[in-house]
Amino acid sequence: MAASAVNTISMLDSNMEVDKLTNEIFSILEKKFLFGYENQNNSLTGKDNNLSAPLAGKNVGAGKVRILSIDAGGSTDGVLAAKSLAHLESTLRQNTGKPDARIADFFDVVAGSGAGGVLAGLLFTRGNDGVPMYTAEEALNFVVNNDRKIRRSFKNGIFRRVFRPAKVFKKVFGELTLKDTTKGVLIPCYDLKSGAQFVFSRADAWEMEGCDFTIADVCGATMADQAVDLKSIDGNRKITAVGGGIAMANPTAVAITHVLNNKQEFPFANGVEDLLVVSLGNGDSDSGTGTGNVMSSPAAFVKIAGDGTADMVDQAVSMAFGQTRNNNYVRIQGNGIVGKKYQSIKDENMNKNERMKKMVEIAEEMLGQKNVECVLFQGKKLVENSNLDKLKMVANELIKEQERRKNSILPPVVLKHASPSPRTSSATTLSSASSC
């Protein structure tokens, strides 16, 4: 018994010595490889282990991964989100002194559903000059000018078995694919073949050939209110899609999950404290108008479900961020005060210019409203700051992060990029560090 106790104590002492030695070794390694030494030839047992100054003033923290999430279309079919982005981009340009700055310059990941997916495509797809195809103001004009064309593209037939992408998307994006996006892109739909949500992903497109689709098809799928067939670039994957608003009206949660579980591209994102999330709603709910006509339209039930799901995601995400919510998570959403006004823009006989003007006015009014915060099991509450105030705060945080990365030695994002020669498998994918 005594011998056993002695052996146990001896083992504990031995383990403590090993732990102590291990800690010392890793402490030295950490200092050596993260901070540098004056004499790079020092050994672990050397006595001259002083910290050198080559990296003095450098920030060794990886910083925050910046996520933009855009809801599926609400009563104004994406105009509120587009107007929010136009205002944000204008503020970023003004505060940085860079008149050509784009939304994509300040975010690492974008997730968009429905009309939000279209905005993601417009703002994060690379044009011939290597920069995003659309500015935020141009994207706003696109959404407003093509509202009816986009909605009418999917009105012919109940379940079309052959997918013909909306001409307006094909005209804009041509044959560009998910691989032609500038940052991480996530756009959902619902696949009737598998009976599950399907998320079009830039990361998956680079990793697996069967996951690359044209942007025109992706936008058509996430906007579709009826079944459409589409296939991947290599023809190996086929899905029958209906819109992202049905599958995932608020894609914020999937964007956060993607970042925290994708260690290849986001190696230092371990929790919500390592994220900066901007979530954009798309206007007041159609079901909040008090017209009593909800029961007459099955589509209205789908919108109610989508609105409810979006709010639940907002509440859950807000709760997950906890005390860091004010600095790490911002939600922009109409608060219902102007909900009835959207009815005036649904008149199909309304003059196009008049309708466009009305849509923008409603979006501007929503931006001037007090911001809404969702509290789990307690519903929504108004805060003192307006949506515009929140966007200004977001712009400041995005600029801070941009500046911080200039002095960081660790890249927070390592996006997959094309290899010089044609790829035969995902194993040949090259990666490059991105610090902006």
Both tokens assigned to 302: 């789908």
- Rounded CA-CA distance 337/287 in Å is 13
Both tokens assigned to 168: 């307006």
Compute the C-alpha angle 226/300/231, nearest 5°: 20
- Rounded CA-CA distance 402/88 in Å is 15
396 φ, ψ (degrees, to nearest 5):
-65, -40
Q: Are 225 and 299 in contact (CB under 8 A)?
A: yes
Active site residue 434: no
Catalytic site residue from 113, 201, 232, 287? 113
Distances (CA, A) of 363 to 88, 123, 200, 322: 14, 19, 28, 29
- The closest alpha carbon to 332, from 369, 281, 368, belongs to 281
Residue 411: how many other CB atoms lie within 10 Å: 17
Residues annotated as catalytic (active site), given as ranges: 113
